[in-house]
Structure 1
Amino acid sequence: MFRDLRWGVYVVLKAPNDYAAACFKQDGLPTDTTGRYAAIYKPFHLIGLELSVSVLSVALRHEPTGQTRDWRGDAVAVAKRPLRSGETLDGEGGWTVYARATSAKASKADALLPIGLAHGVTLTRDVAAGEVLRMADVHLNDTSAGAQFHRAMLSG
């Protein structure tokens, strides 16, 4: 990957007309084969400003803010420090774990714990700092919507 996603974001743009598509080409943006979708890298991430726009687009205008065609990658939980069996994880932004991007293939093959499921769950074993957590490393509430969604992704 050209840049590390921890220090910025890739933004995908859709050209609403031929003029915008021509601008993508003139500006040298990488596009898909149709020339209608371009990707740019922003070396910063303004989540406090960007998230509200996405939430409002979904809630007020019922617009999707992005979707994938396939499950290609996953953000999995990694121990920030040595963690002890019985400890409760506090999710992304907390003191126990951070997210690392990995391929969906590796996530599925190794049954890795998505960062979205790493909040309020209890560890079943000690985990070293820097170690990627697996689903078997936590007591997961299998009836939660997140766990059910993840299970559906794995089977689909």
Structure 2
Amino acid sequence: MGKGPYFAIFRPFHLASVEAPLTVAKMLCDGYETLVSGKPTTEVIASTKKAHAKGERFDGIGGFSARGVTDRVEDAKSDNLVPIGLLQGATARRDIPIDTLITYDDVDLDQNQTIYMLRMKQDQLGLS
């Protein structure tokens, strides 16, 4: 392992079912905030996993339609890119090739979803 006294332990995974409750407990018990960066710095935007024909619907996160790709918030906003969380149930407005970053102009989003309404509110408040 080396001489020490400091070591780095690499974990190529997250234990969300363990880490999330521990984070909440730290906040509630100790008033300790974790991972607070002020404003968001990255956005998880959607990229096609396969070619989509005009009128084709997208499935959700973890599906066969699209994958999430990280980008800087400023770049995602200026390029009009769709966050992957909004893509479920969206319909392609045009043919979209494989490995294409999806813009708001490319799809009709399901505006009745709660996540869509919350995202629009977040954008209106300047929180993204």
Q: Does the pair score TM above 0.5?
A: yes
Q: 2:54 aligns with which of 72, 85, 93?
A: 85
CA–CA separation in structure 2 for the residues paired with 1:58 and 1:73: 21
1:150 paired with 2:115, answer no
Aligned runs of 1:69-108 on 2, under 5 Å? 69-108=38-77
Tell me by how many angstroms 1:152 deviates.
3.1
Count of residues paired in the alignment:
117
Could you tell me which residue of structure 1 aligns to residue 86 of structure 2?
117
1:41–1:84: structure 2 CA closer, same or farther, 3 Å change rule?
A: farther
Q: Equivalent of 1:139, from 80, 102, 108?
A: 108
Among 53, 60, 63, the residue aligned to 2:18: 53
Q: Is the 8 A contact 1:79 1:131 kept in 2?
A: yes
Q: Which has the higher contact order (CA 8 A, sep 6+)?
A: 2
Greater share of strand: 1
Distance 2:54 2:9 in 1: 40
In structure 1, distance between residues paired with 2:11 and 2:105? 35
Single out whichever of 103-112 and 62-71 deviates more from structure 2.
62-71
In 2, Cα distance between the equivalents of 1:41 and 1:128? 40
The change in CA–CA distance for 1:88 and 1:55 in structure 2 (over 3 A counts) is farther
Q: More helix by proportion, 1 or 2?
A: 1
In the TM superposition, residue 106 of structure 1 has moved relative to its aligned partner by 1.0
Residue 44 of structure 1 deviates from its aligned partner by 1.5
Map Cα deviations across residues 108-154 of structure 1 (whole Å, 9 max, x no partner): 11211101112122211111111100122222233433222322333
Cα RMSD (Å): 2.9
- TM-score of the two chains, using structure 2 as the length reference: 0.73
Q: Give aligned-pair identity as a percent.
A: 22
Q: Deviation of residue 87 (structure 1)? A: 1.3
Query: CA 1:56 to 1:92, structure 2 compared with 1: closer, same or farther past 3 Å?
Result: same
